[in-house]
Amino acid sequence: MKILQIVPSISLIYGGPSQMVLGLAPALASQGVKVTVLTTDSNGDTGQKPLDVPLNSPIQQDGYEIIYFKCSPFRRYKFSVDLLKWLNNHAHEYDLAHIHALFSPLSSTAAAVCRAKKLPYILRPLGTLDPADLRKKKQLKQIYAAILERANIAKAAAIHFTSEQEAKVSHRFGAITKDLVIPLGVKEREKKCRDAKKFVSDQFNIPDNVPIVLFMSRIDPKKGLDLLIPALEKLLNEQLDFHFVLAGTNPQDPSYEQKIKSQIQASSLNKDTTITGFVTGELKYALLEAADLFVLPSYYENFGIAVAEAMVAGIPVVISDQVHICQEVSSSESGWVGQTNVESMVDLLREALKDPEERQRRGLQAKKYALLNYSWDAIAQRIVGAYQDIIKVNDN
């Protein structure tokens, strides 16, 4: 079985939804699937240099191959003529394409090429069919859908949703679709930081004896920081001890990122906050291991890969009921789930911060649940089964 994975970018700077492909590809390869990833050298939208990678030729890694193509000068759209030319010439060599992202010119055009070449394809919308997301630039998206995306959705062999809730709320523009609900995967870190708490405390001058509340995600309006910051301010006024770590960036909207930083700097929260910017590698894992609570009060979130990463690290999570794995978190007692308002966040965080034993219990539950349900091996098996069913139907 030969499968294409097509994604506009896999740069770390774009976060978990894009990076997911780098977890899926080797997991599929371990199941005997021949995987080729097609992507661009895009590495941010404003001022960053492209990825320093060879272009237009396969790179072998972890049992699969990846081909990078030059991104167009309009990097925000992550478009590549060379990638589409390659797809047009080689589509006949593959059994199926798994396309990641909707309302992306590259993904939309790739789906059209697949149709023209009679290559079945699966679309993973990355939350873009959520009504809350569709309200952003609503008129433009309606036009885009009428021209490109509705036909792509209607003709897809399946739509890959990462939670039941995402599938339930997603708008299909009148198209009837076959839905696959398969979560994303996370991997347990094999080599632990010897003393993550001390390392993080020394790195950022954080007091040793206070709980660390970690936000590690894209700094975006949908993530609920306008709820979290005032909630944390209220808890400080109640004399609760904690240290807030804000880890993340927003390469597509740096002005919003700066707005949040300025808000914290002008707040009573400032002295008890560390703003790290974008983190990766050892520092990212150290923060995950050192944190006492992970918080993500998003207004909408199709899965929440950052939440799953925190869970597999053994951190209890505090999330909103608009993060679409909220039911799983609640039923497994992996953390606390509330509403998208300041009062709800205050209540949950207060309860969690006042009870270290309950934090520890829920952290253990979180790790247990994540390892069982979000392991890449288990998810790859389910996806391979879905691929086989689609290919069988297409061959008949």
**Per-residue pLDDT at 49:** 84
Beta bridge partners of 124: 100
Please report which confidence band the pLDDT of residue 369 belongs to, taking 50, 70 and 90 as the band edges. very high
Tokens of 125: 């919308």
* Cα distance between residue 156 and residue 150, in whole Å: 10
Average pLDDT, the chain: 92
Residues 173 and 213 in one domain: no
Contact 145, 125 (CB under 8 A): no
The average pLDDT across 162-174 equals: 92
For 324-359, the pLDDT digits (tens) are 999 999 999 999 999 999 999 999 999 999 999 999
Residues 172 and 257 in one domain: no
CATH number at residue 8: 3.40.50.2000
Q: What DSSP letter does each residue of 272-336 carry, written as one string? A: GEEEEES--HHHHHHHHHH-SEEEE--S-BSS-HHHHHHHHTT--EEEETTBTTHHHHHHTT-EE
Is the predicted pLDDT of residue 253 greater than 90, yes or no? no
**Per-residue pLDDT at 199:** 87
Tokens of 128: 């873009």
Q: Would residue 65 count as lying in a domain?
A: yes
- 9 contacts: CB under 8 Å, gap ≥ 6: 18, 39, 40, 42, 43, 71, 78
Residues 224 and 273 in one domain: yes
The average pLDDT across 62-81 equals: 88
For residue 186, give the DSSP letter.
B
Q: What is the pTM of this model?
A: 0.87
Contact 6, 119 (CB under 8 A): no
Is the predicted pLDDT of residue 161 greater than 90, yes or no? yes
Please report the beta strands in 147-211, taking only residues with DSSP state E, as ranges in sequence order.
Answer: 158-161, 179-181
Q: Would residue 190 count as lying in a domain?
A: no
The average pLDDT across 97-115 equals: 95
**Per-residue pLDDT at 237:** 95
Please report which confidence band the pLDDT of residue 17 belongs to, taking 50, 70 and 90 as the band edges. low
Q: Would residue 191 count as lying in a domain?
A: no
Residues 179 and 302 in one domain: no
Residues 346 and 245 in one domain: yes
Is the predicted pLDDT of residue 92 greater than 70, yes or no? yes
Q: Is 241 left (phi over 0), alpha (psi -120 to 50) or beta?
A: beta
**Least-confidence region, from 184-198, 265-279, 329-343, 366-380:** 184-198
Q: Is 205 left (phi over 0), alpha (psi -120 to 50) or beta?
A: left
Q: Would residue 214 count as lying in a domain?
A: yes
For residue 78, the SS3 value is: coil
Please report which confidence band the pLDDT of residue 13 belongs to, taking 50, 70 and 90 as the band edges. confident
**Per-residue pLDDT at 193:** 67
Is the predicted pLDDT of residue 2 greater than 90, yes or no? yes
Name the residue among 241, 275, 273, 219 with its Cα closest to residue 349. Answer: 241
168 burial level (CB within 10 Å; 0-12, 13-18, 19+): exposed
Provide Rg for the chain, Cα atoms: 21
Please report which confidence band the pLDDT of residue 11 belongs to, taking 50, 70 and 90 as the band edges. confident
* Cα distance between residue 212 and residue 200, in whole Å: 10
Name the residue among 80, 13, 87, 82 with its Cα closest to residue 44. Answer: 13
Please report which confidence band the pLDDT of residue 395 belongs to, taking 50, 70 and 90 as the band edges. confident
Tokens of 263: 């808000």
Q: Would residue 255 count as lying in a domain?
A: yes
Q: Provide the residue type at 271 as one letter.
A: K
Residues 90 and 154 in one domain: yes
Cα distance from N-terminal residue to C-terminal residue, the chain:
16
The average pLDDT across 227-243 equals: 96
Most confident of 43-47, 48-52, 348-352: 348-352
The average pLDDT across 150-159 equals: 96
Number of independent structural domains in the chain: 2
* Cα distance between residue 37 and residue 21, in whole Å: 8
Residues 180 and 306 in one domain: no
Residues 85 and 157 in one domain: yes
**Per-residue pLDDT at 191:** 64
* Cα distance between residue 375 and residue 372, in whole Å: 6
The average pLDDT across 116-123 equals: 97
Name the residue among 286, 374, 289, 263 with its Cα closest to residue 329. Answer: 374
Q: Would residue 100 count as lying in a domain?
A: yes
Residue for token pair 């608009």: 322
Residue 59: how many other CB atoms lie within 10 Å = 12
Residues 367 and 391 in one domain: no
The average pLDDT across 168-189 equals: 90
**Per-residue pLDDT at 47:** 66
Triad 294, 215, 197: Cα angle to 5°: 65
Q: For residue 10, how far is the Cα from the chain centroid?
A: 11
Residues 156 and 203 in one domain: no
Q: Would residue 276 count as lying in a domain?
A: yes
**Per-residue pLDDT at 367:** 95
**Least-confidence region, from 11-20, 77-86, 369-378:** 11-20
**Per-residue pLDDT at 157:** 97
Residues 118 and 59 in one domain: yes
Residues 321 and 332 in one domain: yes
Residue 361 lies in domain? 196-373
**Per-residue pLDDT at 14:** 73
For residues 259-286, b (16+ Cβ closer than 10 Å) or e, as one string? ebeeebeebebeebbbbbebbeeebbbb
In order of 5, 60, 73, 212, 309, the CA distances from 95 in angstroms are: 11, 20, 32, 47, 31
**Per-residue pLDDT at 281:** 84
